[in-house]
Amino acid sequence: MAKKGYTPKDHFFKQAKSQGLRARSAFKIDEIAKRLGILKKGARVLDMGAAPGGFLQVIADAVGPAGLVVGVDLAPIRPFTQPWVRTAVLDVLAEDFDGKLKALYDGPLDVVVSDLAPKTTGIRTTDEARSQRLAHKALDVAMARSALGGHFVAKLFMGGDFEEFRAAVKGAYAEVKLVRPEATRGGSMEIYVAGLNRRP
């Protein structure tokens, strides 16, 4: 039985299918990008937790052929026809992740986006802690690889050490925004934390 507030084939699911999008989540990054102005032509973007590729479709169109998009996930991502999109099956929490990411692209990143989410257990504190760990990993990557003035967006579950994470983002970026996109499922604890304009 579906949880209250969860409709598997809702408006966004149907709209994504009709537009040839790989996932309803494409509408989330589209809304975030348009509201915050974080995706520019020619930008170099990392998408963590990219499968099945809904975010990648939106990002690839936004940055265009002059840009570069790298998508990583534990699950395989169906190949893209655009040559400026690179994908790989990688575990972001593995010890060799940073090295493998550099092998895909070794330059600075203008935007780091994380849609990483843990396999939920149903135990709220456990799920929140796992979500925080993934979000912190994404922030670590952004700190190591972001260009000056770059942007960061990460999904995480509200609760637990959320304020600590927001403070960490605030310490590295000139402005911090919280966004709950319209396409977020009802009843979901998720929210996106955006850090705008990486400080020197």
**Residues designated catalytic:** 155
The CA distance from 122 to 157, in Å, is: 13
Residues 6 or more apart whose CB falls under 8 angstroms from that of 128 comprise 157, 158, 159, 160, 161, 162, 189
The alpha carbon of residue 68 and the mean position of all alpha carbons in its chain are separated, in whole angstroms, by 15
Which region holds residue 95: left if phi is over 0, alpha if psi is between -120 and 50, else beta? alpha
Exposure string of 138-161, with b = 16+ CB inside 10 Å and e = fewer, is: bbebbeebbeeebbbbbbbbeebb
Cis amide bond preceding 52, omega within 30: yes
Structure tokens at 180: 């709950």
The CA distance from 73 to 24, in Å, is: 17
List the one residue out of 71, 66, 22, 75 whose CA is nearest residue 47. Answer: 71
Pairing of strands 85-89, 44-48: unpaired
